[in-house]
Amino acid sequence: MEESIQAIDEIIKIMQTNHPQTDGALVRRAYEYALSAHNGQKRLSGEDYISHPLAIAKILANLQMDQVTVSAGLLHDVVEDTEYSLEDIKEAFGEEIARLVDGVTKIAKIKVSGEDEEQIETFRKMFVAMANDWRVIVIKLSDRLHNMRTLSAMSREKQLKKSRETLDVYAPIAHRLGIFRIKWELEDLALKFLEPEKYDKLIRQVAVGRTQREEYIQKVIGIISDKLTAEGIEHEITGRPKHYYSIYKKMEGGKRFEEIYDLIAMRVIVKTINDCYAVFGWIHALWKPVPGRIKDYIAMPKANGYQSLHTTVIGPNGEPFEIQIRTMEMHLVAEYGVAAHWKYKEGVTGEDTLGDRLQGLLDDIKELEADSEDSRDFVESVTTDLYSDEVFIFTPKGKVLELPAGATPIDFAYRIHTDVGNSCVGAKVDGKIVPLTYKLQNGDRVEILTNPSSKGPSRDWLNVVVSPQARNKIRAYFRKADKEENIIKGREIFKRECKHFKTEITEDMKERYEDFITDRFNVGGWEDLYAMIGYGGLRAGYVIQRIRANFIKDFDDDDGRMTLVKAPTKDKSTSIHIQGHSDLEVSFAKCCSPVPGDQIVGFITRGRGITVHRADCINITNTSEPDRIIEVNWINENVPSESFTTNIIMRCLDRKGLIADISTIIGNEGINISSFRTAPAGEDEMKMTIEIVITSVNQVKAIIRKLEGVSSVIAVYRI
């Protein structure tokens, strides 16, 4: 109790340092409410549960968040984990805090089948929540950061799952919001649990020579400081070690540790933008810059608001090192991302340029959500450019727009406005007509030629554009243009599939199911669902299966049950249990290669007994004979008793030694390879199909995680 009181006192003290007008009363009241609500609850570590919301509140306070956000952080688990309701929170703390708590709770309640699908849906809901109120995501990121800091208390399986999710979902979102302080720590903690041996080795490697590096940095700082003082420029110079994950990624890319020279990043912080450029010039006067390593993010800020001058120079000992030059306001944004918005609102700067950029980012996300076909499409769109190179293009009026490298005038047109893109008929670059397939270069001044009478975009443009915004807007145009036709087509397909599955869905049932289908399939209603089915964005059979699974009581009758077809008899596999049909021959489908641990169904064949498929096998979900599907189960699926084959597909960048690396990893797991096929898959890419012999689905998941960490591997998945 005394420890938690000290913790809340420290949190309020941090907040009052960052926000002098804060009296702390609201935060203290939220703490007392959470303390009472979580009374008697413990974490897996054995600590009182209140230690978790207190830790989150401290992270939020250090991010310089306001008292409303910190209070919501203290209360974020109350609705989910205690008897208190959202109405109780609203009554005690008001609408704003209740809305933030509700936003965090909704993200936590995501429950879908399949690890990959779960990540996609988590990503979508987090970005949508971010567009509505980004503070919800800052709370959720703080929650994940503390959970990662205390992950040692969890089982190894959960450590791996949480760490992979952290790298795939949470760190990219922190990047998108520009909260690099959280992003870096999340990445380092995830690496610690995913690759413990490599992580420990990296720590030892960085420790060796640290004293000499620090002495060298102090020498460089002294030289720069003396020069800037002589020139009358007020400044602050800091050096921080690069985070481990950044070094790890460079080593995975083929660099040896000894070749990584920027183990420490140096920053020069000055008062004004003019000072930034003056320092930039003086540093280049002191040391020779490395060609191609100069970047001006002040004139052309990143989408998340990041601004700084970057340069790499050859230092006094002949070693290259990087220097970043920025103002204090830019430094706040670089460290805290959108969280720095509060400083801007309090008048640290004269104009809220960060707020404008933040609103632009949130508007872009809302637009992507509206234009995207489904969750996977939305997530791919919103994350495509997170780590990609960019080009900076000028409008005819001199405004700078950022686009992904390789962007075309069509991408530029849709970046201006949807109507400009849809009516685009040509383009000029620096006053000269160029083809719409032209690859824009840094500094190009682009003018889009439009015609209101244009028939609209060409479907061929989908093969030309590189920005997700342009691609989604073109798709949205054709979806809207063809919507009525797609609705009619989709409704007919749905009716036909309902007959195949012996499933009657009445108008009354549709009304009851509307909330489910809008949330589950991210559509606006039944007509949108039919349209998706009509243009091929969703399989009707899959929709019906999900409805039957979610509303099982509505279909618990003889008409909805699957009937059996006679088949020849034979002793079945000892791995499969079929209620009341022990005399049927059993084989395993080669199309999906089910293994123990998979969700499975049986399919009655004509004359060949039962074939066991994975429940999500496309041949099952698209079957025209659902009457032949029966329920089957694994016997002792957690106790390996037989061997099974399954196929793994890999997309990789071709390099020397890649096949040897992959074979070694699979062999080290004690798994046999029964076949290994390779084929070209585009420029410098190859596709590998590997058939392996395993005993359970857990082995497959484990080997996929290992293979995903191999250098040059783009994607790994199971057929």
Checking if the pLDDT of 542 tops 90, the result is no
CA dist., res. 56 & res. 49, Å (int):
12
Q: Are 714 and 652 in contact (CB under 8 A)?
A: yes
Higher pLDDT, 591 or 462: 462
- The pLDDT assigned to 225 comes to 93
- Quick one: angle between helices 115-132 and 134-149, nearest 10? 130
The 10s digit of each residue's pLDDT in 422-453 is 999 999 998 899 999 999 987 788 999 999 88
Over range 649-670, report the average pLDDT: 82
Lowest mean pLDDT, pick from 106-110, 143-147, 598-602: 106-110
- The pLDDT assigned to 25 comes to 92
Checking if the pLDDT of 186 tops 50, the result is yes
Higher pLDDT, 245 or 206: 245
The 10s digit of each residue's pLDDT in 549-576 is 677 667 654 333 333 333 333 333 456 7
The identity of residue 574, as a single letter, is T
Residue 151 DSSP one-character state: G
- The pLDDT assigned to 258 comes to 67
| Percentage above 90 pLDDT, the chain | 24
CA distances in angstroms from 116 to 119, 161, 702, 716, listed in the order given: 5, 11, 14, 12
Burial 81-104 (b: 16+ CB within 10 A, else e): ebebeeebbbeebeeebbbbbbbb
Q: Are 494 and 528 in contact (CB under 8 A)?
A: no
Known catalytic residues? 80-81
- The pLDDT assigned to 54 comes to 95
CATH topology of domain 2-203: Hypothetical protein af1432 (1.10.3210)
Lowest mean pLDDT, pick from 141-145, 172-176, 224-228, 271-275: 172-176
Over range 619-624, report the average pLDDT: 74
Residue with tokens 């399986």: 157
For 5, the token pair is 């009181």
Higher pLDDT, 256 or 381: 256
The burial class, CB within 10 Å (0-12 / 13-18 / 19+), for 708 is middle
Strands 320-327 and 390-394: unpaired
Q: Cite the residue boundaries of each domain of the chain with CATH code 3.10.20.30.
A: 388-461
Checking if the pLDDT of 86 tops 60, the result is yes
- The pLDDT assigned to 365 comes to 56
CA dist., res. 73 & res. 26, Å (int):
12
pLDDT band at 132 (very low <50, low <70, confident <90, very high): low
Most confident of 52-66, 104-118, 633-647: 52-66
- The pLDDT assigned to 565 comes to 32
Checking if the pLDDT of 321 tops 70, the result is yes
Checking if the pLDDT of 298 tops 80, the result is yes
- The pLDDT assigned to 351 comes to 43
Checking if the pLDDT of 315 tops 50, the result is yes
Closest CA to 500 of 526, 528, 539: 539
Checking if the pLDDT of 290 tops 80, the result is yes
Over range 115-141, report the average pLDDT: 65
Residues in Cβ contact with 145 at an 8 Å cutoff, skipping those fewer than 6 apart: 59, 182, 185, 186, 189
Higher pLDDT, 14 or 595: 14
- The pLDDT assigned to 323 comes to 92
Higher pLDDT, 178 or 130: 178
The 10s digit of each residue's pLDDT in 41-63 is 888 888 889 999 999 999 999 98
Checking if the pLDDT of 274 tops 60, the result is yes
pTM of the model as a whole: 0.56
Higher pLDDT, 619 or 338: 619
Closest CA to 75 of 11, 128, 139: 139
Checking if the pLDDT of 286 tops 70, the result is yes
Q: Cite the residue boundaries of each domain of the chain with CATH code 1.10.3210.10.
A: 2-203
The 10s digit of each residue's pLDDT in 365-378 is 555 555 555 555 55
Checking if the pLDDT of 300 tops 90, the result is no
Over range 647-662, report the average pLDDT: 82
Q: Cite the residue boundaries of each domain of the chain with CATH code 3.30.460.10.
A: 207-345
HEC string for 354-415:
HHHHHHHHHHHHHHHHHHCCCHHHHHHHHHCCCCCCEEEEECCCCCEEEEECCCCHHHHHHH
For 10, the token pair is 């420290």
In the three-class reduction of DSSP (H, G, I as helix; E, B as strand; rest coil), residue 585 is classed as: coil
| CATH, domain range 644-718 | 3.30.70.260
CA distances in angstroms from 505 to 58, 519, 525, 543, listed in the order given: 51, 18, 15, 12
Backbone angles phi, psi at 454, to 5 degrees: -60, 145
For 605, the token pair is 């064949």
The identity of residue 559, as a single letter, is D
Burial 573-603 (b: 16+ CB within 10 A, else e): bebbebeebeebbbebbeebbbbbbbebbbb
- The pLDDT assigned to 600 comes to 84
CATH topology of domain 207-345: Beta Polymerase; domain 2 (3.30.460)
Q: Are 311 and 322 in contact (CB under 8 A)?
A: yes
Lowest mean pLDDT, pick from 278-292, 348-362, 608-622: 348-362
- The pLDDT assigned to 114 comes to 41
Closest CA to 373 of 361, 381, 363, 364: 381
pLDDT band at 185 (very low <50, low <70, confident <90, very high): very high
Checking if the pLDDT of 701 tops 90, the result is no
Residue 272 DSSP one-character state: S
| CB under 8 A, 24+ apart: contacts of 280-283 | 280/309, 280/311, 280/325, 282/224, 282/227, 282/228, 282/231, 283/224, 283/311, 283/313, 283/323, 283/325
Over range 324-336, report the average pLDDT: 88
CATH 1.10.3720.10 fits domain 388-461 = no
Residue 340 DSSP one-character state: G
pLDDT band at 8 (very low <50, low <70, confident <90, very high): very high
Lowest mean pLDDT, pick from 73-82, 368-377, 452-461, 676-685: 368-377
Q: Is the dihedral of CA 625, 628, 630, 636 positive or negative?
A: negative
Give the chain's mean pLDDT: 80
DSSP result, 660-697: HHHHHHHHHTT-EEEEEEEEE-STTEEEEEEEEEESSH
CA dist., res. 40 & res. 38, Å (int):
6
Residue 439 DSSP one-character state: P
